[in-house]
Amino acid sequence: MLEEIKRMDWKFWGVRAGIVLGIMLAGALVLLGIQKLIGHPEEAAQLSYSYGDWRMDCGPPDDAKGGCALTENLFAKSGETIAHIVYVEGDHERLEIVVPHGVLLQPGMGFSVGKDAVKAYPYETCDAAGCLAFVPVDDAMRAALLANGDGQIVLMPPQGKPIGFKYSLKGFSDGVKALESDRNRRTAWWRFLVS
């Protein structure tokens, strides 16, 4: 009889302990779900990292679609923005270059890397921010961007005499590595476990 009471006592407390653990686990999962829905205000802010003369701006760390952009701004001595360069990776890897209004559109924008010859790229559109040209980045262009220290953008003002501006590639290689690392982290199947 004593043995039977001990067995029943064990079953009684074992079932109760299982119920308590189950409730605690369910509560933890509910709290985790609420935390994901509400988010963290400190993570909602955009993050910026510097790599030499380039800057990587990123959306919230837990946003798989947000991603990062690698940018460089060129300024005139007066402080005016001459060009805004954005490196876009992915299926259509390219440099997006925005220059101020007041350039001749027909000849396009000149662009070179290192000591390479300047090549013209057409302006795709102009909007309130300026005129936009795309420079496709194939394997050869990517290798040149990673291996050189600078390049040149050439604009044609209405007066008709081309004006060249140097841009820096200092930090570009490190920025590209950081972009790739961030993309891999954002698209990993397990990212929801650590974000």
31, pLDDT greater than 60: no
Answer yes or no: is 123 within a domain: yes
36, pLDDT greater than 80: no
Residue 89 φ/ψ region, left for φ over 0, alpha for ψ in the -120 to 50 degree band, beta for the rest: beta
195, pLDDT greater than 60: no
Answer yes or no: is 167 within a domain: yes
pTM: 0.71
88, pLDDT greater than 60: yes
Answer yes or no: is 94 within a domain: yes
Residues 54 and 122 in one domain: yes
The pairing of strands 109-113 and 150-155 is antiparallel
Residues 98 and 152 in one domain: yes
- Listed in order, strand segments (DSSP E) in 76-194 are 81-88, 94-99, 109-113, 119-121, 123-127, 130-136, 150-155, 163-168
Answer yes or no: is 187 within a domain: no
Residues 48 and 31 in one domain: no
Residues 32 and 58 in one domain: no
Residues 12 and 63 in one domain: no
Residues 63 and 143 in one domain: yes
17, pLDDT greater than 80: no
Residues 140 and 50 in one domain: yes
The pLDDT tens digits for 99-141 are 999 999 999 999 999 999 999 999 999 999 999 999 999 999 9
Residue 21 structural domain: 2-38
Q: Which of 11-20, 32-41, 158-167 has the highest mean pLDDT?
A: 158-167
